[in-house]
A and B are shown apart, each in its own frame.
Chain A
Amino acid sequence: MRVIIIGAGVVGYTIAKKFSSEGQDVVVIEKDEKRIKELKESLDVRIVEGSGSSPQILIEAGIEQAEMVIAVTNSDEVNMIASLIAETQSRVPKKIARIRNPDYLNYTRIFERDYLDLDFIINPEKVAAERIVKIIEIPGAVDVMDFMDGRLKLVGGKLTAQSAIVGKKARELGRFFPSENIIIVAVYRGNQTIIPQGSTVLEEGDLVFSLTHPEEAMKLLKLFGNGGNEKAVSRPMIIGGGEVGFFVAEHLEKAGHQVKLIEKNEARCAKLVEKLDKTIVIAGDGTDRELLKEENVKDVDTFIAVTNDEEANILTALLAKRLGARRCIALIDKPEYLSMVSTIGIDVAVSPRLASVGDILQFIRKGKILSVKTLMEERVEAIETVAMETSDIVDTPLKDIKFPQGAIVGAVVKDDQVMLPNGHTVIKPGDKVVIFALRKTIPQVEKVLMVKPEFF
């Protein structure tokens, strides 16, 4: 399959890398010469220099044979024009574009069939904001994701010294959780990613990802030694009134919290006040220590740093933490920073880039595979799929299936009944399953899921 990716920013780069490693033919259009040099050094793709909104460049990139065009430059306008040209040039089967300006997003007619005919629109800011909102609701959680249309939640949390399960083996967990609705699917220890087996011993400081029913998420985190008895959120503070900040504030305000929002740009503040009724909008610099003190940061339970400047987000979050804020969430995109988040003491990092990459992948893989999500900086993939007849996975107890090490079945849905499996579970054709796997084992996992050819 030929995929054309327009704009090799962080999102474009990650998708290009992913596709190329999966064996697709990727053509990247990028106009920055310096960036092109970096790409050449690190990606096995064809690179065309130029603007994605130029018909000539798109033809050079082979748009006529393209099966998918993904326009993810920083400019909504370029992305739209590129999609339009793709549409007129050759009616490319699938078109995905990044559109962030709410003005466009609210006027959806142009995305419809007769006009741009976009198959999927991504808005990283909105995706990130939704992610933040989800995480805020569960105190102590580092990451939260929905599976099976929200019937299951994947919750990531740190094991603290108070946790009862430190030093215990993964298979013993049922004893500690009365309903037994818990299955650990991934553990992040130091720099190591582990897909646990029954005998894996949990240690203090592990970042543990577990599937559970939504109503039991809070209990789960308590088991990890987090959260205590306090209410989820009560006094949140947001730094940065951009799209993300606004969306989060709006949501929290609706949920009845007293939100404080600090934004540098006064004109933007005026706009925010217009749209947000109960939120206290403060014009000022989030990195200003005195301002934070003045606004009583020590009583803040959730501190959310979501400005456009990720370095500032990290520093502000750390400053707030030192001044007494209990939990801090920062918007970070650079992979280099993401990997050291927990070491420097930031509780939660949310990356618009990774979030939107996940969304794009999920859209692309629609079909037999229901969804794909990535966690831990993409080292683990969660695949939601339907078990096929005659594939290796069905009609055999899980413990007898030759599943690659580094992959685990996290959940099974039988006749609309969600269950968390154990070794004796037998998957039937038509069941939905969620599989968690280290990236390098994905080809093996696909083999297990594959339908065997039948001869007469």
Chain B
Amino acid sequence: MRLRVVLQVIGAINMILAMAMIAPLLVSLLYSEGDTKAFLLSFIITAVTGVILYLVFRTSGLEVGHREGFVIVAAAWLSTSFFSSLPYIFSGTFPTFVDAIFEATSGITTTGASVLTEIEELPHGILFWRSMTHWLGGIGIVLFGVAILPLLGIGGMQLYKAEASGIAGDKFVPRIKDMAKILVKVYLFLSFVMMVLLIISGMGIFEAFIHAVGSISTGGFSNRNLSIAGYNSVLIEWLIIIFMTVGATSFALHYDFYRKGFRAYRENEEFRFYILVLVAATLLVAINLRIFHYSGIGESLRHSAFQVVSITTTTGYSSADFAKWPAFSQLVLMTLMFVGGSAGSTTGAIKCVRVLVLLKFIYKEMYRLIHPHAVTPVKLNGKVLSPEVLKGVVGFTLLFLFVFVISSFLLAATGLDPVTSISSTAASLGNIGPALGTTGPMSNFAAIPSFAKWVLILDMILGRLEIYTLLILFVPAFWKG
């Protein structure tokens, strides 16, 4: 383990974070609501730490090996969670340290769960910073580093693999650096387009930024207490539905679309499955809502679609209080919390591709009982998946569920009710945000015990890094030889 390299990269990532703090600093100057000092102080601390780490541990060649990759990515996320909480701490937004960390982690992991009770009273700078953390974390803060840093050889790939979500796809351009740049460009482009469309549909520039970033990064922070329900606008809701769907679609696939046209989406098996899940769940929930909750079909469909897409893409915006919906609808949403969007996007949870592979695997196992001698490989996009990939999928899913169970128990142990315990864990581990019960969409996480908050903070980072990257550091063998 070359600790120098790790610390140097962390330094560089801190510098990126410090750069990102300049934007809210300017916003706070513009509105002068008393939060400027907090941002200035945070900027200085973050930048100085970054520069010192970078310079002190500078090595001639940034060679990142297999293990350094894991350590760098895990450390980068832990340190970013801490440093991005500085503005909250200095501005006194939160009464306790754990709350500041919770909000920061929730932002950077694009979870979108909040411990704020009165969002609308906050200074604009702080609101801007919450969304900025979404944007940085959405595509992955280390990815920005990969695009900028002079990483040697395979180093960038190691970092990319440790941070990327889902089954890491093949590189679509020869150099990892170029690929990182392309992904960042796609991300920027989508965020910009959505922001413009929101402005056209009547939102102010500031709110348009917050919701564009919140949707594309599938984060879910809003500047309204009532989230999207606060606007009560069908146009805005559909815009957000579309862009949440886009944000949780593989970015490599978007790039493919740019080159090949709609054929790219049509031919991708994971994308078809992802859309199928969205459509089927929307219809099921709409029918249920029409029977038990709303009086009109249009209303049922509109709220059903918004909530289903919001939860599946792991965004967490809400246009209605789904915690008050009938049990069936709540259960569908709860299930979707585990599914998530497509791999290689800003989404969280298990990811559609894994669910799809698991379903195919189960089907093949049954098929084999009928034809014991049949050759039954699991295929994806027309290609046979190797046993290693299958093992990886099964292993990850089991680990995800295992962490979910343990964490739910820990939450329940603090005295929370079962629905809140289970749904909060699922919503944090899957980077969704609002859960059911007392932590529903029209409520927040402020009231839960601080131990429970720490557990959820850990869940959010575990979920964002797909568990292995963080958990592997606690395996003794990782540090030996």
Which residues of A come within 8 Å of B, CB atoms?
Answer: 2, 20-21, 25-27, 33, 40-47, 440
Distance between Cα atoms of A43 and B171 in the complex (Å): 12
Instruction: Say whether B173 contacts A25, CB under 8 Å.
Output: yes
Of B27-35, B152-160, B460-468, the segment with at least 4 beta carbons within 8 Å of chain A is B152-160
Find chain A residues with CB under 8 A from B153 CB. 20-21, 42-44
A232 → B minimal CB distance (Å): 43
Instruction: Say whether A440 contacts B61, CB under 8 Å.
Output: yes
Distance between Cα atoms of A2 and B60 in the complex (Å): 27
Interface centre among B66, B171, B176 (most CB of A within 10 A): B171
Instruction: Say whether A46 contacts B172, CB under 8 Å.
Output: yes
Q: List 7 A-B contacts (CB under 8 A).
A: A21-B152, A40-B157, A44-B156, A45-B174, A46-B173, A46-B174, A47-B171
Distance between Cα atoms of A442 and B170 in the complex (Å): 31
**Cβ 8 A contact of A47, one of B60, B170, B178:** B170
Asked, given contacts A33-B386, A44-B154, whether A26 binds B66 with beta carbons under 8 Å apart, the answer is no
Instruction: Say whether B175 contacts A20, CB under 8 Å.
Output: yes
Q: Which residue of the partner chain B has the closest CB to A27?
A: B174
Instruction: Say whether A44 contacts B176, CB under 8 Å.
Output: yes
A107 → B minimal CB distance (Å): 35
Asked, given contacts A20-B153, A21-B153, A440-B61, whether A41 binds B171 with beta carbons under 8 Å apart, the answer is no
Instruction: Say whether B176 contacts A41, CB under 8 Å.
Output: no
B173 → A minimal CB distance (Å): 6
Find chain A residues with CB under 8 A from B386 CB. 33
Q: Which residue of the partner chain A has the closest CB to B151?
A: A44
Instruction: Say whether B154 contacts A43, CB under 8 Å.
Output: yes
Instruction: Say whether A41 contacts B154, CB under 8 Å.
Output: yes
Find chain A residues with CB under 8 A from B66 CB. 41
Find chain B residues with CB under 8 A from A20 CB. 153, 174-175
Instruction: Say whether B171 contacts A46, CB under 8 Å.
Output: yes
Distance between Cα atoms of A2 and B178 in the complex (Å): 13
Digit string of B172-191 for contact with A (CB within 8 Å is 1, else 0)? 11111010000000000000
Instruction: Say whether B157 contacts A46, CB under 8 Å.
Output: no
Distance between Cα atoms of A27 and B171 in the complex (Å): 10
Distance between Cα atoms of A131 and B175 in the complex (Å): 35
Find chain B residues with CB under 8 A from A40 CB. 157
A152 → B minimal CB distance (Å): 32
Digit string of B48-92 for contact with A (CB within 8 Å is 1, else 0)? 000000000000110000100000000000000000000000000
Digit string of B417-438 for contact with A (CB within 8 Å is 1, else 0)? 0000000000000000000000
Distance between Cα atoms of A21 and B150 in the complex (Å): 12
Instruction: Say whether A25 contacts B154, CB under 8 Å.
Output: no
A-side interface mostly? mixed
B391 → A minimal CB distance (Å): 14
Distance between Cα atoms of A440 and B60 in the complex (Å): 9
Asked, given contacts A41-B66, A440-B60, A440-B61, whether A26 binds B174 with beta carbons under 8 Å apart, the answer is yes
Instruction: Say whether B157 contacts A44, CB under 8 Å.
Output: yes
Find chain A residues with CB under 8 A from B172 CB. 46
Distance between Cα atoms of A308 and B136 in the complex (Å): 54
Q: Which residue of the partner chain A has the closest CB to B157?
A: A44
A133 → B minimal CB distance (Å): 36
Distance between Cα atoms of A52 and B157 in the complex (Å): 25
Find chain B residues with CB under 8 A from A45 CB. 174-175
A1 → B minimal CB distance (Å): 11
Distance between Cα atoms of A21 and B151 in the complex (Å): 11
Q: Nearest 8 A-B pairs (CB), nearest first? A: A25-B174, A46-B174, A46-B171, A26-B174, A44-B154, A44-B176, A45-B174, A44-B153
Distance between Cα atoms of A27 and B172 in the complex (Å): 10
18 further A-B pairs in the complex, CB-CB below 8 A; given A25-B174, A25-B175, A46-B171: A20-B175, A25-B178, A26-B174, A27-B174, A33-B386, A40-B157, A41-B66, A41-B154, A42-B154, A43-B153, A44-B153, A44-B154, A44-B174, A44-B176, A46-B172, A46-B174, A47-B170, A440-B60
Find chain B residues with CB under 8 A from A41 CB. 66, 154
A274 → B minimal CB distance (Å): 48
B140 → A minimal CB distance (Å): 18
Distance between Cα atoms of A25 and B66 in the complex (Å): 23
Find chain A residues with CB under 8 A from B173 CB. 25, 46
Distance between Cα atoms of A2 and B174 in the complex (Å): 9
A78 → B minimal CB distance (Å): 22
Distance between Cα atoms of A287 and B173 in the complex (Å): 48
Q: Which residue of the partner chain A has the closest CB to B177?
A: A44
Q: Which residue of the partner chain A has the closest CB to B179?
A: A46
Find chain A residues with CB under 8 A from B170 CB. 46-47
**Cβ 8 A contact of A44, one of B60, B61, B175:** B175
Find chain A residues with CB under 8 A from B152 CB. 21
A273 → B minimal CB distance (Å): 49
Q: Which residue of the partner chain A has the closest CB to B168?
A: A40
Find chain B residues with CB under 8 A from A25 CB. 173-175, 178
Q: Which residue of the partner chain A has the closest CB to B176?
A: A44
Distance between Cα atoms of A20 and B178 in the complex (Å): 13
B287 → A minimal CB distance (Å): 44
Distance between Cα atoms of A27 and B175 in the complex (Å): 9
A29 → B minimal CB distance (Å): 12
Distance between Cα atoms of A40 and B172 in the complex (Å): 13
Interface set, chain B 177-232, CB cutoff 8 A to A: 178
A134 → B minimal CB distance (Å): 33
Q: Which residue of the partner chain B has the closest CB to A17?
A: B153
Find chain A residues with CB under 8 A from B156 CB. 44
Find chain B residues with CB under 8 A from A42 CB. 153-154
Q: Which residue of the partner chain B has the closest CB to A2?
A: B174
Distance between Cα atoms of A2 and B152 in the complex (Å): 19
Find chain B residues with CB under 8 A from A21 CB. 152-153
Distance between Cα atoms of A47 and B175 in the complex (Å): 11
Distance between Cα atoms of A27 and B176 in the complex (Å): 12
Find chain B residues with CB under 8 A from A44 CB. 153-154, 156-157, 174-176
A378 → B minimal CB distance (Å): 14
A438 → B minimal CB distance (Å): 12
Distance between Cα atoms of A41 and B153 in the complex (Å): 10
Find chain B residues with CB under 8 A from A26 CB. 174
Find chain B residues with CB under 8 A from A440 CB. 60-61
Distance between Cα atoms of A440 and B63 in the complex (Å): 13
Interface set, chain B 107-156, CB cutoff 8 A to A: 152-154, 156
Find chain B residues with CB under 8 A from A2 CB. 174
Distance between Cα atoms of A419 and B156 in the complex (Å): 45
Find chain A residues with CB under 8 A from B176 CB. 44
Interface centre among B61, B154, B157 (most CB of A within 10 A): B154
Q: Which residue of the partner chain A has the closest CB to B155?
A: A44
Q: Which residue of the partner chain A has the closest CB to B60?
A: A440
Interface centre among A2, A33, A41, A42 (most CB of B within 10 A): A41
Distance between Cα atoms of A21 and B156 in the complex (Å): 13
Distance between Cα atoms of A26 and B178 in the complex (Å): 12
Find chain B residues with CB under 8 A from A46 CB. 170-174
Digit string of B89-102 for contact with A (CB within 8 Å is 1, else 0)? 00000000000000
Distance between Cα atoms of A45 and B173 in the complex (Å): 8
Distance between Cα atoms of A220 and B173 in the complex (Å): 50
Find chain B residues with CB under 8 A from A43 CB. 153-154
Distance between Cα atoms of A20 and B156 in the complex (Å): 13
Interface centre among A21, A40, A46 (most CB of B within 10 A): A46
Find chain B residues with CB under 8 A from A33 CB. 386
Q: Which residue of the partner chain A has the closest CB to B152?
A: A21
Distance between Cα atoms of A42 and B154 in the complex (Å): 6
Interface set, chain B 364-420, CB cutoff 8 A to A: 386
Distance between Cα atoms of A21 and B172 in the complex (Å): 18
Distance between Cα atoms of A44 and B156 in the complex (Å): 8
Distance between Cα atoms of A121 and B273 in the complex (Å): 49
Distance between Cα atoms of A77 and B255 in the complex (Å): 36
Distance between Cα atoms of A25 and B178 in the complex (Å): 10
Find chain A residues with CB under 8 A from B154 CB. 41-44
Distance between Cα atoms of A20 and B157 in the complex (Å): 13
Distance between Cα atoms of A219 and B463 in the complex (Å): 70
B152 → A minimal CB distance (Å): 8
Q: Which residue of the partner chain B has the closest CB to A39?
A: B154
B109 → A minimal CB distance (Å): 27
A25 → B minimal CB distance (Å): 4
